[in-house]
Amino acid sequence: MARIVLVGAGSITFAKNLLSDILTFPELSESTIVLHDIDQARLDTAEAMARWMVGELGIGAKIEAYADRRAAVEGADYVINEIAVGGLEAVKRDLEIPAAYGVRQTIGDTLGIGGIFRALRTIPVMVGIGDDLAELAPDSVLFTYTNPMSMIPWSVYAGTPFKNVVGVCHAARDTQQTLARMVGVPEEEISFLTAGVNHQAFVLRFERDGENLYRRLDELIERDPELRRRVRVEVYRNFGYFPTESSEHGSEYLPWFLPHAEEVERYRIPINVYLEWLAEGYEEYEEYKSSLEAGRGVPIERGEELASLAIHSMETGTRRMIHGNVRNGGLISNLPPEATVEVPCHVDRSGVQPVLVGELPAQVAALNRAFLSVGELTVKAALEGRRDHVYQAALLDPNTAATLPVRKVRELVDALIEAHGELLPEGIRG
């Protein structure tokens, strides 16, 4: 049976969701589940949770737990990455230090100054994982959930011998479901094509039986002034295709919203909302930990996590379509070939097979290229230890550049480098 490794298993809510899906597939219920985390207390909680689930379900899955990453990934068939390097304190620095300079963010994990520094902390660890897999599990598949999604797979296939890495995210799937609900058409009756860059992909085809459903969406927006107070709707109205990211998150990748107080109010953008979400996550961890210690366990609820669906398809041959983040290599012809792009992928026993999309509309490709330019410089900065590329990435970031002059951008970068210290690549902090 499959050997499935969860790296960063101490992210308990996420681990719970993945385990709920994996362990309730009959075909995966005899798998070996391997848990790894550098936080021993959280690893112990994850192990207790996994063992409780196996007992509750009455299945034969085997549970192993290792604080040592190499021991965990050796011989893996599938590795699911969900790490958060630096934890809550690092996220606070990513949001609070820029705020002192006047740079507003909402989540700060994908683009923007926060996304840049999250990547700089995470890439050295991901390079280590990629090197480990190339040596210890060369035929495995690495599914990664960790943001920034446009940079993390890129760093693995560009910086290590290991190439079989796929980023997975719910944004495209959730957007398609949202659009179906908005226009009142069952999702299964709609023909979708969604592609671009993670958190800035676009719904390129939105049809039923040849009918362009964007016309229905236009009528809905015209009737509802509250819809016109959403960032993603404003992006759609100006660029012609609906984006896959929420208004809160999507506002961070563009120069027209967060730098302007009146636009923050107009579009109801919640500043630093990620800190609230993380606080809720820490509360949930304590609740699960207490419940496990009391013998009550945790909810086992299927959530259709993309990594679990992909693993099931690869093990059973059940053909599915998911959206994956993979090396472009011409899948989208007017985006850089080395970039990580988000495209539909068929999955079965043959593995993850990306779909050739072709050329994006010029206007959305232009947005994606600006997004990817920041990512490319950040990946190069991390892999090559180049502090100058960190300055350049920040100067090209739309939100940061629209908020600060050059000297202040450089001051902000220096302040964040000093604050994150040894979490960053040596050449950058030196």
pLDDT tens per residue, range 29-85: 999 999 999 999 999 999 999 999 999 999 999 999 999 999 999 999 999 999 999
Segment 153-170, tens digit of pLDDT:
999 999 999 999 999 999
Check residue 357 and give its pLDDT. Answer: 98
Q: How many Cα atoms are found within 13 Å in the side-chain-facing hemisphere of 36?
A: 20
* Residues 111, 251 contacting (CB under 8 angstroms): no
- Give the pLDDT band (50/70/90) at residue 248: confident
Q: Could you give the percent of the chain with pLDDT greater than 90?
A: 94
Residue with tokens 């015209």: 222
Check residue 239 and give its pLDDT. Answer: 98
Check residue 258 and give its pLDDT. Answer: 97
Check residue 1 and give its pLDDT. Answer: 85
Check residue 218 and give its pLDDT. Answer: 97
The span from the first CA to the last CA of the chain, in angstroms, equals 46
Check residue 282 and give its pLDDT. Answer: 84
Return the higher-pLDDT residue of 430 and 91.
91
10-14, 50-54, 62-66, 126-130: segment of lowest average pLDDT:
10-14
Averaged pLDDT score across all residues of the chain: 96
Q: Is the pLDDT of residue 280 over 90?
A: no
170 is catalytic: yes
Q: Is the pLDDT of residue 430 over 80?
A: no
Check residue 399 and give its pLDDT. Answer: 97
- Give the pLDDT band (50/70/90) at residue 8: very high
Mean pLDDT of 196-200: 97
Check residue 193 and give its pLDDT. Answer: 98
Mean pLDDT of 202-209: 97
Would you call the peptide bond into 361 cis, given omega within 30 degrees of 0 as the criterion?
no
The contacts of residue 366 (CB under 8 Å, 6+ apart) are none
Q: Is the pLDDT of residue 89 over 90?
A: yes
Check residue 152 and give its pLDDT. Answer: 98
Mean pLDDT of 325-332: 98
- Per domain, the residue ranges of the chain are 3-87+110-166+295-311
Segment 223-241, tens digit of pLDDT:
999 999 999 999 999 999 9
* Residues 53, 342 contacting (CB under 8 angstroms): no
Catalytic residue among 36, 170, 199, 260: 170
Tokens coding 397: 């970031």
Q: Is the pLDDT of residue 424 over 90?
A: yes
The CATH homologous superfamily of the domain defined by 3-87+110-166+295-311: NAD(P)-binding Rossmann-like Domain (3.40.50.720)
* Residues 18, 9 contacting (CB under 8 angstroms): no
Residue 254 Rama label (left phi>0; alpha psi -120 to 50; beta): beta
Check residue 278 and give its pLDDT. Answer: 87
117-121, 234-238, 249-253, 346-350: segment of lowest average pLDDT:
249-253
Tokens coding 411: 């001051």
Segment 296-313, tens digit of pLDDT:
999 999 989 999 999 999
Check residue 100 and give its pLDDT. Answer: 98
The contacts of residue 357 (CB under 8 Å, 6+ apart) are 193, 195, 204, 331, 332, 343, 344
- Report residue 24 CA to chain centroid gap: 24
Check residue 219 and give its pLDDT. Answer: 96
Check residue 349 and give its pLDDT. Answer: 97
